[in-house]
Amino acid sequence: MKLKRFLLRYYPPGIILEYETGGALKTKSIDLLDLSPETDIEELISEIRKSEPLITASRINQVKLLILRLKDKLSQQNDHRFYLFKELQAHILPLTNVVFNKSGSSFITGSYDRTCKVWDTASCEELHTLEGHRNVVYAIAFNNPYGDKIATGSFDKTCKLWSAETGKCFHTFRGHAAEIVCLAFNPQSTLLATGSMDTTAKLWDIQTGEEVATLTGHSGEIISLSFNTVGDQLVTGSFDHTISLWDVSSGSRRVHTLIGHRGEISSVQFNWDCSYIISGSMDKTCKVWESASGKCMATLAGPKDEVLDVCFDSTGHFIATASADGTAWVYSAASYQCVARLEGHDGEISKICFNPQGSRILTASVDKTARLWDVQSGVCLQVLDGHKDEIFSAAFNYEGDTIITGSKDNTCHIWR
Amino acid sequence: MGLLSILRKLKSTPDQEVRILLLGLDNGGKTTLLKQLASEDISHITPTQGFNIKSVQSQGFKLNVWDIGGQRKIRPYWRNYFENTDVLIYVIDSADRKRFEETGQELAELLDEEKLSGVPVLVFANKQDLLTAAPASEIAEGLNLHTIRDRAWQIQSCSALTGEGVQDGMNWVCKSVNAKKK
């Protein structure tokens, strides 16, 4: 094994090692999820040396510089004020979802008008209209970090794979018996997972366009799914009140069924190091599960109504939940204690996410506003006001300095 | 009503829930009718650029009513909403005689849709509060409603503005759902 070069990853902090083994180029990452501006560098380096044979004495200074750069990034003050940069008359019918590519250079919008559009973030120009679906385009995704492909899942029961560069359709995946409502690329961008109202999830080969597996076992609609960071496991959440954990590498076996919620599941996600899964449910709680054992570690209660969305921050230190009662909650992933309660929305919150730095939370609500919150204090920093109808989706770019919101009012707003 | 609630309303409904599709040309009064049903303020209604969904309780049923915009450019998208429809309500502006032909054509096309086959249809002859409104009997004749054989149908004169006739129409809706679910 020979180390070729280092790559830096800001969010979550980490150093990627590119190395050669048996003539092939490979990468592995050293995750520095606990890095803070106060971290003792010498101590950290000696720890890294112990666990990573590729880091030899001659490389120490290089690694030290990289960690310094990460620390610099972490200590940057973030007091960015967002303003409405552009209102895009994006579609002729309501939007469903909005998603950035990894670099944030472009983003996509899905709509009830059966199209998905690709936009250039800087110029706000429409680059492509992805046409071909015969019903609502509901779920959309970039194959991040690459960003050269786009997947669209539709109420027409099909999923399509497109070139992000040319807008050409590579494949149409047929096989689901009902609406496709969630989808995700695996991190290697070799597989696409789709979840459907037909109670199954399917895995598709990106290259050949063939179906690889059908994941059966749920008795209700699959409403949310997500790969872990490594890409060997997939988690699915269903209206049948359960969550399933699937081993994707070995013939798509169901590893665990996570039972405990007393209502439909709304959202599921892994943390970065793949050790935990969180799930939001109509039973007004969020549960934390250990992926290895499938055991429920904690039930995060508080909201007075259904939990509609849940997410980890990029390092996995915090959990945020959004509720139909108009409140959002932030919990420590270590102690499961509530850190902050975000109050102010005048109606249900349908989407919640952290900025990549983990210092801010963005919420989207039926009250026609999106709001920006400080994670530590729970203070509302900004109300992003301007949409004329409910906001269905909202997202940060990777830098955390641009926000897009998609609304039932057929427009997409870009905030900078 | 976020995206998730829309998904929940999308799935095939349990026995006590009814999915109602509200269609018709633009400016026919669909949204006013929807708000009247939900007992909401009807003083500020603008053309629907997408859709509105409301749930109302009636005779032991939960009626999930989908009001879809009727402008010409978005009519092709009506079929997005056909799945799992229990009853179709078609709203006509009874005073807009110039568009009777157009509205008749749209209705005929809807009745030909495979996904709506056998779905009971209620035609609301709306805006009866206007002096120039055509009576329901004249509209029924103009639309050849009497030739419909493949489903239950009914025409009901109403005013979404005053609420007159609306409840009578909804009573028919519940009756026909009862008949269908038995």
Model confidence pLDDT, tens digit, residues A32-76 = 999 999 999 999 999 999 999 999 999 999 999 999 999 999 998
Mean pLDDT for chain A overall? 96
Predicted confidence (pLDDT) at residue A351 exceeds the cutoff of 80:
yes
User: Looking at B16, B59, B71, B105, which residue is catalytic?
Assistant: B71
Cβ contact B74–A135 (<8 Å):
no
Distance from CA of A113 to the nearest CA of B (A): 7
pLDDT of amino acid B25: 97
Q: Which chain A residues contact residue B51 at CB under 8 A?
A: 93-94, 112
* A348 at B interface, C-beta within 8 A: yes
**Phi-psi category of residue B127: left, alpha or beta, with phi > 0 → left and psi -120 to 50 → alpha:** left
Q: Please tell me the distance from the alpha carbon of residue B115 to that of residue A86, in angstroms, as a whole number.
A: 40
Q: What is the pLDDT of residues A257-308, one digit of tens each?
A: 999 999 999 999 999 999 999 999 999 999 999 999 999 999 999 999 999 9
Contact B80 A390 (CB under 8 A): no
CA distance A238 to chain B (A): 11
For an interface test with B, the pick among A96, A99, A113 (most B C-beta atoms closer than 10 Å) comes out as: A113
Better-predicted residue by pLDDT, A1 or A201: A201
Contacts of A135 in chain B (CB under 8 A): 79-80
- Measure B132 CA to nearest chain A CA, in Å: 33
**A329-365: string of b/e by CB count within 10 Å (b at 16+)?**
bbbebeeeebbbebebbebbbbbbbbbbbbbbbbbbb
Task: Give CA–CA dist A367/B73, Å, rounded.
Answer: 28
Closest CA to A181 of B81, B65, B8: B8
Query: What span, in angstroms and rounded, lies between the C-alpha atoms of A306 and A353?
Result: 17
Checking if the pLDDT of A251 tops 80, the result is: no
B49 is catalytic: no
Q: Identify the structural domains of chain A with CATH numbers, from first to last.
A: 2-75 (no CATH), 84-415 (2.130.10.10)
Type of residue found at A364: A
The SS3 call for residue A160 is strand
Give which of A370, A354, A403 is closest to A104, Cα–Cα: A403
Is residue B182 very low, low, confident or very high in pLDDT (cuts 50, 70, 90)? low
Eight-class DSSP state of B70: -
Kindly list the strands in the beta sheet with A159-163, ordered across the sheet, starting from the edge strand earlier in the chain.
A137-142, A149-154, A159-163, A169-173
Mean pLDDT value of segment A365-389: 97
Cβ within 8 Å of residue B174, ≥6 positions away: B18, B58, B59, B61
